Amino acid sequence: MIHHIVRKEFTDMIRDGRFRWSAILVGSLLLVSLAHGWVQARKASQELTAAQATAREHWETQGEKNPHSAAHYGVYAFKPRLALSFVDEGVDPFTGTSVWLEAHRQNDFLLRPAQDATAAQRIGALTAAQVLQHLVPLLIILLTFGAFAGERERGTLRQLLATGVGWRELALGKALGASGALALLLVPAAVTGAAALVVANPGPTASPLARGAVLAGAYLAYFVVFLALSLAVSARARSSRTALVFLLAVWVVNGLVAPRVAVDLSKRVYATPSAFEFARTVEREMADGVEDIAPPDRDESTERLLAEYGVERVEDLPINAVGVYLQESEEFSNRIFDRNYGALWDAFRRQGILQEALAAAAPSIAVRTLSMGLAGTDVEQHRHFAETAETYRRDLMRQMNGDMTENSLTGDFTYAVGAELWESVPPLEYEAPPLGWVLGNRILSLAVLGAWLAGAVLLASAQVRRAEVA
Amino acid sequence: MTESQESNSGATPLLEARGLTKDYGDTRALDSLDLAIAPGEVYCLLGPNGAGKTTTINLFLGFVAPSAGQALVSGLDVSTHDRESKRRLAYIPEQVMLYRNLSGIENLEYFAALGGQGSLGRKRLIEILGEAGLDAEAAGRRVSTYSKGMRQKVGIAIAIAKEADALLLDEPTSGLDPTASSEFSALVERLRNRGVAVLMATHDLFRAKDTGTRVGIMHYGRLVTELSTAEIGHADLERIYLEHVSDNGGRR
């Protein structure tokens, strides 16, 4: 019997001009945003590859110089884009994509498109994730707010129920019928997305299709939440107008109000310093040290080396004491960076956890977090790359200072090396975290979305059971 | 009394109310209704608005639960056999409402399938619609182009397709022009001759006398009198009706 209901609902919907136009609009926006995202991602990926090659060439052809000078010369590291970033660009426009790795400093990321964009450009940059998170739920509401309330108003509900069909069968049939109509626009989008994934540069991850499958599952669960909520409200509302107004209010709170409140609240609860305050704190601690992290003392360092090598003059040391001191300075600054950046990342992590918990009030927060995570564009994966880049920077500095220490003597200011050393430094090879790592980080969002799914289905089931004919 | 009625007068009633009562808060919408409609009988419930006619139909359809008593369809208590009792019922409301984006055939196919008839073929669907008075051309058109009379014909077709034991009609001829109303009565007559028990709530005294085999007059939720249409004329029915639905008559 259910297949008759499904078929009727599907036919009725696709013949409805309102559905056709709204589906064409949302479907077009989805396909355009996917295509635009893919083109942008591909372009950014090509630019990144070119910039990476140029940066590497600059490093290798910097000419002969002291290794510590080379450490100051530095090298750029570029955050590679994951294959799915064309679906959801997440925090990338705000966090930046490149960082300059140099001696003594852990620099901020550069190239933040959001910084350069005008407000109009930011609004205009509609991503596939935004369409999926905001417009598809709106379409679901428009398709289903009258599922029961409209039938009740028109009088068809009495005739339907008089046939002996049960409420549950009716609800399931309506849900599947609406899903079928939605599939007309979502399936082509999913196929386009999958094709784009296959032909796209997979980026630094081994599992783009697995990530894509989980992403599709998360969005599917999100849509079912809206479908079930819409049916529940329609079953209980006195009129289709009441159902529509209520559901639109839910949509506004879910998509516009709750995410904003969640971000503001998390910032208030786990405050982070401004960029200026942060830089000033790091600068002050670098100058004076802090608590048990004292800046290295050059005289003490020299005395220790003299004692270690059993000589009385620095000229008699078999190594360059300046190189040792420079590395000690690096280690000191690293501890200051770890202390400050560690606290900052922890604050971001706590903010993120609070936001994920607040998804209990709005499923859009959960699906947005999952979407960014699976696309590789969330704060955690930015941190993963930033820490990889920082580790690379520290290794690079250690290698430069080590070469100076081992191959020159104290006071030898003419020591210089060339391409052989620069080329011996391996380029930064970034391996993005695996799917399990991403899901492990997003366990709260998964749980909250799962709870929304179960809750919405149970609510729909209960409301449909209690629904009245007239 | 008609031949059909005579032959079925002793049969098990297909529609039966036993002390059927419905309260909405402090208001008694239906008060201890006792009623039995045999196969081939058309029972017309007359009464002013609020008399309890639609409540009676809603109770037979299981749309509301009785406060006391029972509504039975083919011997099945509606309260405990919701689906089985509905399977034996067909229902045509005052305004047959259909799906505007579907054709008459598609509407009939849908309602018939939900009523347990499975997938009737297109040919059979057109036949049924034809039997209800809708030609094949109209049957293939979307219902958004239909008049009320055409929608009522689809409603009748749905009832025919269901092959139900009993038919509930709630003001089915209200708003129909005399020709359409007469056609509708003829269709009811045909169903009656097939042994279907019909309960029709109506304000139309003429149609009740013309179509019905028995008439019950309701007022303030009570069945105040019951008549055989064979024994009275149109004028008598009107007089008796007015006597019973005046406030004095109703509260006697």
Q: What ipTM was reported for this prediction?
A: 0.86
Q: pTM for this structure?
A: 0.86
Model confidence band, residue A206 (pLDDT cutoffs 50, 70, 90): low
* pLDDT of A112: 53
Q: What is the pLDDT of residues B134-179, one digit of tens each?
A: 889 999 999 999 988 889 889 989 988 988 889 999 988 877 778 8
Cα separation, A135 vs A143, in Å, equals 12
Q: How far is B216 from chain A (nearest CA, A)?
A: 24
pLDDT at A370 exceeding the cut of 60: yes
Cβ neighbours for B124, distance < 8 A, ≥ 6 positions apart: none
Alpha-helical runs (H) found in A359-434 = 363-375, 379-407, 419-424
Q: Which residue has the higher pLDDT, B107 or A23?
A: B107
* pLDDT of B248: 52
Per the structure, the count of domains in chain A is 1
Q: Which of A1, A12, A16 sits opposite B113 (nearest CB)?
A: A1
- Across the A:B interface, residue pairs with CB atoms under 8 Å apart total 69
pLDDT at B3 exceeding the cut of 50: no
pLDDT at B8 exceeding the cut of 70: no
Q: How far is A446 from chain B (nearest CA, A)?
A: 38
Q: Which of residues 63-92 of B touch A (CB under 8 A)?
A: 63-64, 82-84, 86-87, 89-91
Helix A136-144 to helix A240-252 angle (10° resolution) is 170
Q: Which domain holds residue A19?
A: 2-466
Is B114–A156 a contact, with Cβ atoms under 8 angstroms apart?
Answer: no
In A, which residues are within 8 Å of B24 by CB distance? none
Model confidence band, residue B60 (pLDDT cutoffs 50, 70, 90): very high
In words, the CATH class of domain B1-88+166-172+195-252 is: alpha beta
Q: Which residue has the higher pLDDT, A469 or B204?
A: B204
Could you give the percent of chain A with pLDDT greater than 70?
95
pLDDT at B204 exceeding the cut of 90: no
Is A161–B63 a contact, with Cβ atoms under 8 angstroms apart?
Answer: yes
Q: What ranges do the domains of chain B cover?
A: 1-88+166-172+195-252, 94-163
- The residue-averaged pLDDT of A384-405 equals 92
pLDDT at A428 exceeding the cut of 80: yes
Place of tokens 């709106």: A138
* pLDDT of B6: 43
Q: How far is B63 from chain A (nearest CA, A)?
A: 6
* pLDDT of A92: 81
pLDDT at A462 exceeding the cut of 80: yes
Is A156–B115 a contact, with Cβ atoms under 8 angstroms apart?
Answer: no
Q: Which of residues 131-160 of A touch B (CB under 8 A)?
A: 154-156, 158-160
To the nearest whole number, what is the mean pLDDT of chain A? 88
Task: List the end-to-end C-alpha distance of chain A, in Å, as a whole number.
Answer: 23
- The residue-averaged pLDDT of B112-131 equals 89
Alpha-helical runs (H) found in A253-320 = 258-269, 275-288, 298-309
A2 shares contact with chain B (CB less than 8 Å): no
Q: What is the pLDDT of residues A16-70, one digit of tens each?
A: 888 888 888 888 888 888 888 888 888 888 888 899 899 999 999 988 988 888 8
**Cβ contact A143:A182 at 8 Å:** yes
**Residue B162's closest chain A neighbor by CA?**
A163
To the nearest whole number, what is the mean pLDDT of chain B? 87
Q: Coil, strand or helix: which one is A222?
A: helix
Q: How far is A235 from chain B (nearest CA, A)?
A: 15
- Token representation of residue B54: 């639609």
* pLDDT of A38: 83
* pLDDT of A465: 86
* pLDDT of A16: 87
Query: Of A219-228, A336-345, B3-12, which one has max mean pLDDT?
Result: A219-228
